[in-house]
Structure formats: structure tokens, C-alpha cells
Structure 1
Amino acid sequence: MTDTAVTQILIVDDARDIREPLAQYLRKQGLRTRMAASAAEARIVLDEASIDLVILDVMMPGEDGLSLCRALVARGGPPVILLTAMADETDRIVGLELGADDYVVKPFNPRELLARIRAVLRRAPPTPPTVDATERRFAGWTHIPATRELIDADGTRTELTSGESRLLTVFLDHPRTVLSRMRLLDLTAGREAKPYDRAIDNTISRLRRKLEDDPKSPRLLVTEWGGGYLLAADVEKV
């Protein structure tokens, strides 16, 4: 991704005097921003919104930034730029080893951070396999791939992450068909797929929270034990 005008940034920092001025600055540069004061708040935003990059403070009360970074990398989440204190060289090294894409030392120049954001976005991973961009209906829902949205029967819109939208598109391409984890990885990540990757399970869990009346007893995205997952619905083009 190179067009920062359509990029949404999540700023995670417990210091209000850092996250709010930074969000204001990035908005003036044409980026959309969301804010979170803790890792717990960040997890909620990441489940609800389509986030393209996370600016993540390392030192926070409760769950720290390194723990959240590890979780984001494990689930194939958006790229991460860490904010670290000048003396915390160990945190910077550990963060990069965990899979962070870059780091910026506090106090920082917002212009430098913006340059690093653009550099990370330019280093986009190889494009995943092409999936169908057709708008389709299923079980009272309408999926809009172009805007990564779900619309229910009442017209309420729910935003999906890029990974959630891509995975849902694969299921809509193969309704009432059991798809194994490896098959789903092949269709969504291609050569970037990793053996024993849990990203599929995590993404399905998030989709269930948005699609199902009772995510613990799913009726749409059904688990086929020993086989994989199945979309238990008929699909039609809009």
C-alpha cells in the first residue's frame, strides 16, 4: 500500500499528550487515525476496524506493547512501528525480533515518524491471490469487498479488516464446501502462508463475532472437525 490518503493508522499510547497531538498531525497529512490508551482498547479497535498500520508504545500499564506486537504478528495483523524510550535498546531489539517493522525513539519528530510510516507502507508484502470482488448476499447479509463492509438486513454496516474480508470472500466463492486450514491459507495468503499458521482460526473467530448471533455456537461459519471450516449458507450475487 502506498496511498496514505486511504490509510488508517491506530495510535496506541497511554500518554494522552502524545497520542492526541500525533493523531491530529497525521490527520492533517491525509491519514485517518484511531486511538487507544491501552492494549485492551487496541484489541477492540483492531477487531472492529480496518487498520493498516499500528503505532505502538512499548511501555504501557497492563499488557505492554511488546506483548501486543507479538499477538499482532502471530495473527498476521497490520505492520507495527514501536515507540520506545531512548534508553530501552533491549526493547527495540526484542521488538524487531518479534516482527515489528520499525521503531522510533521518544521524544520524536512527527515528520520523521510520518516518513517511517510511508516507508513501512511502501514495503507491502507480495500481493495475495486475487479474490472475487463481486458484491454478494448470504443469510441476510451483504458483503461489499470494495469497502470491506458487511450490511445486515436492517442496513447496519459493519467494517471488516482486509484479512476478514478476503477470507469471507473465499468462503463466498465456495459455499457449503469444507475448506481445510491449509486450503484457506493457500487461497488467502498464497506463498506467504506459513505451516501451522493460526491466522485462519483467529480470523474466523473475529468473523463469527460479527456474523453470528451466538459466536460460541456458530451456524454460518461451521467447524468441520478434522476437516476445516464450511460456510453453511447459499450465496447470490447482488
Structure 2
Amino acid sequence: MKHVLIIDDDVAMRHLIIEYLTMHAFKVTALADSRQFNRVLSSETVDLVVVDLNLGREDGLEIVRNLATKSDVPIIVISGNRFEEADKVVALELGASDFIAKPLGMREFLARIRVALRGRPSVTRAKDRRSFHFADWTLNLRQRRLISEEREEIKLTAGEFNLLVAFLEKPRDILSREQLLIASRVREEEVYDRSIDVLILRLRRKLEGDPTSPQLIKTARGAGYFFDVDVNVSYGGTMAA
């Protein structure tokens, strides 16, 4: 049984979601705010999180940010009066998987949840013992840590992490937007398609000495992007080319 965590301060909305998803064989935990959020995540397996952008004195985007830096759990953002395109782009940068406007159509909501759950990797990165070594960087998959040669650690959102792994697994291969959308678990719609450029820009800013003249992540005009550097892989301390 899949476990869905809902964070929404609207009591009626929480009850509606609980009733509907329970009818469709989901386990549902509903919270009014983030005060019990970490306790639930640490004590139970959560398969998907639904976050309302407007939570009274809290900002749903901050919850998305905090979750995306430490988990691959898909995040669906819902919103009513605050649903500008800028909010969509920011939430996507922070790691959200999908967006739904209120009032919710429950059948569509259920379909979106099922799509987000199907997009989860079949093997979790936490169990992957590989480390990628490229340029002056090391990415440890099990620890989800990106460390420079000077031992400086760079934080990555879930979307950035997944996108970087996609590049590292296929260095110098041109990856299309469709491939990158799938790799970063972003829904394939027009506004989300443009967000790939945002994720690429954010990765360049974190990896490149001069993001305006990238040496690692390069653009293949009309085709996609490619990672233009040698990548070595180590398994539990053993280096493999």
C-alpha cells in the first residue's frame, strides 16, 4: 500500500483527500503544517508528498526545498489563489514533480499521483554504491554528496541530483529534452519543458567556473545537452573507467 503524505491547512480539503485516496487503496497521513513533518518522514516510509503552497504562517515552497535536498520522494504542489507561472518554475527548481490548481478534480488528482509514483526509480539511489569522479568533482550516490577537490560540499535538489546522474551515466552522449525530463521526473508539458533549462543553468552555476562559457554541460543546438568530460566510476573504493 502506497503512503501519501498531505500538508494542507484546509481541514475540509484534508478530509476530502483522505476519504478519496483511502477508497483507492492508499495509506494517507494528513498534516496541517510542517511541525510533525520530520517525525513522519523519520518513522514511516512515505511514497509521495502533496504540499499546499499557502499554509498560513508557513511557505509551502520552503517545505519543498527542505524535502528535495534530502529525499527522492515525488512532490506534488497544489495551490488556489497563488498559482503564478513564476511559482511553478521556482517550485520545480526546488524539486517539485507536478502542479495542480484548486479546486481539485479528484479523478485527475488520483491520476497525477499514480503517474508521479510510476516515475520513481525502481532501485533507490541510497542503495547505489557508485561514486562518479569528473573534473574536480566527486558525486557519491549512496550519500547523495557532491564534493569538490577542495572538499567543499555543494547541495543539490532532487531534480539537480537526478539530472547530474543522467549526464554522468552517459558522458558525451547527447540527451534530448524528453530524456532529461524523464531523468529529473518532471512532467512533460510546455511550461515544465522550459524548466529543464532552469535546472541546467542551476547545475552550471554550481559546477562551472564560468557558467556563461560552460565546459562540462554543453548545448547541442536543436538536440539537447551533453556532458563533455571524462567520467570515472568507483565501486566501494575500487576505481573503474
TM-score scaled by length of structure 2: 0.55
Aligned residue for 2:119, secondary structure, equals: coil
Query: Is it true that 1:92 corresponds to 2:102 in the alignment?
Result: yes
Separation in structure 1 between the aligned mates of residue 196 and residue 3 of structure 2, nearest angstrom: 27
Which runs of 5 or more structure 2 residues have no equivalent in the other structure? 9-31, 44-54, 235-241
Could you list the runs of 5+ residues in structure 1 that have no partner in the other structure?
12-20, 83-90, 103-119
CA distance change for structure 1 residues 123 and 76 in 2, over 3 Å: closer, same or farther?
farther
Identical-residue share of aligned pairs (%):
28
Task: Check conservation: 2:89, 2:195, Cα contact below 8 A.
Answer: no
Aligned to 1:166: 162
Matches of 2:93 and 2:109, distance apart in 1: 15
Alpha-carbon spacing, 1:193–1:213, altered in 2? closer, same or farther (3 Å):
same
Match of 2:204 in 1: 208
Q: Name the CA distance, whole Å, in 2 between partners of 1:72 and 1:153.
A: 30
1:148 touches 1:161 (CA, 8 Å); kept in 2? no
Query: 1:222 deviation in Å?
Result: 1.0
**1:4-153 correspondence runs (5 A):** 22-30=33-41, 42=62, 45=65, 49-50=69-70, 52=73, 53=75, 64=82, 66-67=84-85, 69-71=87-89, 77-78=95-96, 92-93=102-103, 96=104, 124-128=116-120, 133=128, 134-153=130-149
Alpha carbons 2:69, 2:155 under 8 Å: kept: yes
Secondary structure (helix, strand or coil) at the match of 1:205 reads: helix
Q: Please list, as runs of the form range in 1=range in 2, the aligned pairs for 1:213-228 lying within 5 A after superposition.
A: 213-228=209-224
Partner of 2:227: 231
Shift of 1:206: 1.9
**Partners in 1 of 2:154 and 2:199 — Cα distance?**
15
SS at match of 1:194: coil
1:83-112, CA deviations, whole angstroms, 9 ceiling, x for partnerless residues?
A: xxxxxxxx832xx47xx969xxxxxxxxxx
**2:188 matches 1:194:** yes
> Per the alignment, in what secondary structure is the counterpart of residue 163 of structure 2?
helix
- Equivalent-residue separation in structure 1 for 2:198 and 2:223 (angstroms): 17
CA offset at residue 136 of structure 1? Answer: 0.9
Are the aligned partners of 1:75 and 1:198 in contact in 2 as well (CA < 8 Å)? no
What secondary structure is seen at the aligned counterpart in 2 of 1:135? Answer: strand
Separation in 2 of the partners of 1:29 and 1:143? 28
Structure 1 residue 151 displacement after superposition: 0.7
Q: Is the 8 A contact 1:74 1:198 kept in 2?
A: no
Cα shift at 1:78: 2.2
CA RMSD of aligned residues (A): 4.8
Distance 1:54 1:129 in 2: 17
Tell me the TM-score normalized by structure 1: 0.55
- State how far apart, in whole Å, the 2-side matches of 1:65 and 1:171 are: 31
Question: In 1, Cα distance between the equivalents of 2:161 and 2:223?
Answer: 22
Aligned-partner Cα distance in 1 for 2:145–2:83: 29
Distance between the aligned counterparts of 1:153 and 1:229, measured in 2?
Answer: 25
Residue-pair matches, total: 189
> Taking structure 1 as reference, are residues 26 and 44 closer, same or farther at Cα in structure 2, changes over 3 Å only?
closer
Displacement, 1:49? 3.2
